Amino acid sequence: MSVQSAEQVRNTSKTVADASLTEGLVKLIRGKPIAQADLDAAAMFTLDAIANILAGRNSEPGKVMLNWARSKGASNVAPDADRMAFLMGGLCHILETDDLHRESVVHPGCVVVPAAWALGEERYVSGRALLQSVLHGFEATTRVGMAVGAAHYRIWHNTATCGPYGSAMAAAALLGLTDEQTVDALGNAGSQSAGLWQFLETGAMTKHLHAGHAAEAGLKAAELAAFGFSGPPRILEGEKGFFRAACPDAVPSAVLADPDAPWQLLRTSIKPWPSCRHTHPAIDAAEELRVRLGACGEDAIRTIEVGTYQAALDVCDRPVATSDYEAKFSLQHAVAAALLYPKVDFAAFGAEARTRCAALALRVRIAAEEPYRSTYPRAWGSQVRVMLADGTELAAARTNAKGDPEAPLSSDDMVAKARMLLVHGGVREPERIIDGVLRLAANGALPELSLL
């Protein structure tokens, strides 16, 4: 009698009804057609992530991570893909200018692109193969994220917990894993899901660790699967799986819902401002009010009211910001900065700006209001109302923020953003990086980044 492998036993004993959510997710993703327009979009999102990675080096946490990476080996030896994915993931998430998928509340680019790029660079993959893996990774992490439920986000950081599924799916594509091996990879990636919001109390650097770990965990799980390392197929819906452990109001059916929808990468938003995405609809509205206020000075403003959704309050209700990072997670500071400064850029969250905005920020009152409370997370909206000392009231509202699919940045805007980030990161030839990444859609080779 011949001895069957574990994979053969699985295949012969399983019925369609027995298929796990993870198995269904793998088949859904691998069955989706990819058009040239999808590859073009994936190249643009890859450029955004790469620009964020290189810009993240010019920050205190980025310098810490680079010093750590340089301490791990000889300078003339390239780090392995796992460690490079960790470093790139952490750097990508530092400046708060990376992408955001609203329905899942996941930043897919800072997890998926680092894993795909690190592995792709190591294996000299083609541009199209890399972009296909990015589409697969975005799809996996956001579909899991759309199923976790609202309660999960109050304690857990979705990018950290859902990210490993995306990095594993992207790596599986580049490694040529079978469907069964990919299920193993996703199972072991999901078993490493972690990432808590506790760091917000002190502004610790932990959030960057979340993205780096998620990128590395999925990549490592996929590499192990290639060698036959098995994983739990019901990591999502199992009795001791992810949903049961960390998602009290999970919606498991969301993982496989609407399989013929466009790629979720196309439903992902690009950030125009360097702060938490929850602040962006209010920044957008406040910038309109700044123009309408004209020559009115700060002293003419009596109070400011911001209507938004509950998650924005949970993460960004911070009347006093004592650091750049706290300011990026402060609706009060963000609105004050948008009213006082002609441009909300990196400097708008620095020490000088915090001093300038402090008094006005204390006049900002925020509350969860309709319709924003009910439409979240499908739409991230906000209204800003400014009451002047003479009794005049001005208001501006946004159903969606600038950079959302409904209010997208143009290709020129996205390239300009990437150029700004690359210059901020000290890149000497930003056009080489921009052109090289965008050429991936035409099957160009990966451009050298010289990260370290």
Whole-angstrom CA distances from 219 to 114, 162, 230 are 10, 14, 15
The mean pLDDT of 134-162, rounded to a whole number, is 97
Which of 146, 183, 176, 137 minimizes the C-alpha distance to 42?
137
Tokens of 206: 């932990």
* Spacing of C-alpha 169 from chain mean position: 16
Q: Which phi and psi (to 5°) does residue 102 adopt?
A: -65, -50
- Residue 76 has what pLDDT? 65
Whole-angstrom distance, CA of residue 168 vs CA of residue 174: 10
* 131: CB partners within 8 A, 6+ apart: 39, 42, 43, 46, 440, 441
Tokens of 139: 């799809």
- Residue 1 has what pLDDT? 32
- Residue 79 has what pLDDT? 82
Confidence band of 13 (pLDDT split at 50, 70, 90): very low
Q: How many residues does the chain have?
A: 452
- Residue 15 has what pLDDT? 47
The mean pLDDT of 379-395, rounded to a whole number, is 96
Query: Which of 72-81, 350-359, 389-398, 399-408 shows the lowest per-residue confidence on average (mean pLDDT)?
Result: 72-81
- Residue 343 has what pLDDT? 92
- Residue 16 has what pLDDT? 44
Tokens of 309: 């959704």
Q: Which amino acid is at 372?
A: Y
Which of 66, 102, 34, 91 minimizes the C-alpha distance to 212?
91
User: With 60 as the cut, is the pLDDT of residue 315 above it?
Assistant: yes
Confidence band of 297 (pLDDT split at 50, 70, 90): confident
Percent of the chain residues topping a pLDDT of 70: 95
Residue-wise pLDDT tens digits, 46-77: 999 999 999 999 999 999 999 999 998 766 66
- What is the CATH T-level fold of the domain 277-398, as seen in this structure? 60s Ribosomal Protein L30; Chain: A; (3.30.1330)
Which of 198, 194, 43, 58 minimizes the C-alpha distance to 127?
43
User: With 70 as the cut, is the pLDDT of residue 10 above it?
Assistant: no
What is the rounded average pLDDT for all residues in the chain?
94
Bridge-based pairing state of the strands 382-388 and 393-398:
antiparallel
Residue-wise pLDDT tens digits, 397-410: 999 999 999 999 99
User: With 60 as the cut, is the pLDDT of residue 7 above it?
Assistant: no
- Residue 74 has what pLDDT? 63
Percent of the chain residues topping a pLDDT of 90: 90
Whole-angstrom distance, CA of residue 202 vs CA of residue 158: 20
The mean pLDDT of 195-200, rounded to a whole number, is 94
Confidence band of 9 (pLDDT split at 50, 70, 90): very low
* 330: CB partners within 8 A, 6+ apart: 279, 316, 318, 319, 320, 321, 361
- Domain borders along the chain are 15-272+411-442, 277-398
Question: For the domain 15-272+411-442, what is the CATH code?
Answer: 1.10.4100.10
Number of Cβ within a 10 Å radius of residue 328? 24
- Residue 203 has what pLDDT? 87
N-term to C-term CA, the chain = 55
Asked if 394 contacts 410 with a C-beta cutoff of 8 angstroms, the reply is no
Whole-angstrom distance, CA of residue 96 vs CA of residue 421: 12
- Residue 365 has what pLDDT? 97
pTM: 0.90
- Residue 75 has what pLDDT? 63
* 226: CB partners within 8 A, 6+ apart: 175, 177, 181
Confidence band of 296 (pLDDT split at 50, 70, 90): confident
Q: Which phi and psi (to 5°) does residue 385 adopt?
A: -120, 125
Residue-wise pLDDT tens digits, 254-271: 999 999 999 999 999 999
User: With 60 as the cut, is the pLDDT of residue 101 above it?
Assistant: yes
The mean pLDDT of 427-441, rounded to a whole number, is 97
